[in-house]
A and B are shown apart, each in its own frame.
Chain A
C-alpha cells in the first residue's frame, strides 16, 4: 500500500473540511498519509470525492479502496489573488491531477513550473489540524 510522502506545512489549514459518517474514513486515512476513496463494484470505477452512493448507477454498496497517489497533471494555475484564508500561502499553485485509477483531484503543486501532462506524485501536506493533497514531479526511481 502506498504511503504518500509527507510535507510539513507548520500552519493551520486555510479552511477546514467537514467530515461526515460517509466521508470521515477518507480524512482519517489522509491524516495517516494514505489516500482512500470509494469504488463501485457494479460500475467498476472509483469516485472522488467519496460519496455514500455511486453517481454512476445509484448503488449504495460502494467500498473503500486505497489509491496509488500517482498520475498526470491536467492543468495548473498560480493564484496571486486569493481569499483571505489563503493569503499566508499566496501565491498558491493549484493543479488538476488525473490519477492512474481514473479519478480527477485537486492538489497544491509544490513544483509550480510543472506543465500539463507532467507525471506527478501526490504528497500529504500535513497542517497542524489536517491534511491537503499536494503534488510534485514523479521521480522515475522511487
Chain B
C-alpha cells in the first residue's frame, strides 16, 4: 500500500548549523526571517517555483527567544506569498521539523495545492543556557510531580544510558564511539557545526554533564534554517525524482516514563513508526541505504538503531565501535554527522535529517555520498522517543 497520489521533494536547502543569533543590540545583525528567506528563495529557485505558486507554508514553531510573533503570515507577506491552502506554525517537541514536512506533504496529497513548503529557522545560541534548561525540564516531565526533581531533556537520555550499560555490559567507551564516528561524517559535511577531528580519548576525557554522558555525548547549541519544497508529480522537474513513498507515526503512550515499570531502552514507537513508513513505501530494512535518525545523545543513536532492528539488543554500541555505522561501514547511520556534530537546533533537526536524506538520494552528498543511494529513512521523535514520525523517501529514475 503505497501513498497515493504521489508527492515528490522538489528541492531542499539548509543553512550550515552554527551561531547566527545576534547578541543584544548587535550592529549589522542578520535576523531570523532574513536567514530563512535566503534558504527559501534558493530552494524555490532550485524547484522552479515562483513564490506566488506556493499554496501552503508549514513552519516549525519558533523558540522562545524569537521576538517576532505571528511569524507565519509575517514571513509569507515578506516573500509575496499568499497561501491558499494552509499556513501553520507546527510544534511537536523534537518531531517538530518532521511534523511540518508531514503536513506539507499532506497538503499536496489532499489536492489542496500543487506546491507546499516545510520550513523553519531556529535562533537560540545566545539565549541563556539556564533559561533553556528551565524550559526544558517543563517539557520533559509532569510539572508538579517530575519537573520538581530537575531532569533536563538530556538527563532522560542519561537514564537510558545508565540502564543500557547495566543491561548490556556496554561501557562509556562504546557509547563514545558514536560521537567519534558522527564527527567523522560531519568532517565531510559542509553544513555541519562541528568539523574538527575528535578522538575517542577526547570524548572519554571530557567533563561529565549528565552521567554517564559527557560533553561530547550530548549536543551543542546551534542555530539554523531549512526549507524543503514538495509538490505534485506534475511539478517534478525532469531527471531523477525523490518520491515521498511512505510515512509512519507512533506514540508509546508515555510522557517520558510510564506510570508503571517498563523498559526505557526499547523505544517501541521508533520501531513502529519506521515499520509503518517502510510498509507504506513497500521496502524492507535491508533496502534502506540512508538512515537519518534523530539522536541528540550517543546513547540515543545506539537505542534507535537497535529499535529499528539494525543491530541486536545490546549490540548497537559495539557496532559503532567496530565502525559499522561510520564512514565506510556496512550500515552507515546519520551521514550528516547527526545531532552530535551536524548540529541540533532542536525544532528543525527533523528538517535537517530530511535534508540529508534528500541530498544523499539526489547523489549530491559529496565526500560522504553513499554510492547508488536509492532508499532513505528519516526518523524524528518527541520526549524519550515516546512519539516517533518516520518518512521513507525513494529515488525514482526518470
Contact = CB atoms under 8 A, between A and B. Distances in A.
Interface stretch (B36-44, B145-153, B269-277): B145-153
Contact of A94 (B151, B167, B208, B261): B151
B127 interface: no
| 10 closest residue pairs by CB, A with B | A77-B158, A17-B144, A49-B145, A75-B163, A83-B133, A116-B166, A86-B150, A98-B261, A78-B211, A75-B162
B152 A78 contact: no
A23 B166 CA distance: 35
A105 to B, nearest CB: 8
Contacts of B262: 104
B134 interface: yes
Contacts of B150: 14-15, 79, 82-83, 85-86, 89, 92, 94
Nearest to B151: A94
Interface secondary structure of B, over-half rule:
mixed
B146 A80 contact: no
Given A17-B148, A83-B152, A104 B134 contact: no
Give the interface size bracket for A toward B: 35 or more
A33 interface: no
B166 A75 contact: yes
A18 to B, nearest CB: 5
Interface in B235-263: 257-262
A122 interface: no
Contacts of B133: 81-84
Contact of A116 (B136, B141, B162): B162
B81 interface: no
A89 B150 CA distance: 10
Interface residues of B, number: 42
Nearest to A76: B162
Interface string B279-297: 0000000000000000000
Interface in B108-155: 129-130, 133-134, 136-137, 141-152, 154-155
A99 to B, nearest CB: 9
A1 to B, nearest CB: 22
13 contacts: A14-B148, A48-B145, A75-B162, A77-B210, A78-B208, A80-B208, A80-B210, A81-B133, A83-B130, A83-B133, A84-B133, A84-B134, A94-B150
A49 B142 contact: yes
Contacts of A78: 208, 210-211
Nearest to B157: A77
Interface in A83-142: 83-86, 89, 92, 94, 96, 98, 102-104, 106-108, 115-117, 132
A94 B155 contact: yes
A81 B148 contact: no
A55 interface: yes
A13 interface: yes
Interface of B: 129-130, 133-134, 136-137, 141-152, 154-155, 158-163, 166-167, 207-213, 257-262, 264
A107 B136 CA distance: 19
Given A92-B150, A94-B149, A77 B159 contact: yes
A79 B210 contact: yes
B159 A75 contact: yes
A77 B142 contact: no
Contacts of A94: 149-151, 155, 159
A96 B148 contact: no
B152 A115 contact: no
A93 B253 CA distance: 26
Interface in A57-86: 74-86
A45 interface: yes
A69 B147 CA distance: 20
Contact of B149 (A81, A116, A132): A132
A14 B208 CA distance: 22
A96 B149 contact: no
Nearest to B147: A15
A47 B166 CA distance: 27
Contacts of B162: 75-77, 116
A81 B145 contact: no
Given A81-B133, A94-B155, 7 more contacts: A77-B210, A79-B152, A80-B209, A80-B211, A83-B130, A103-B260, A108-B149
B137 A83 contact: yes
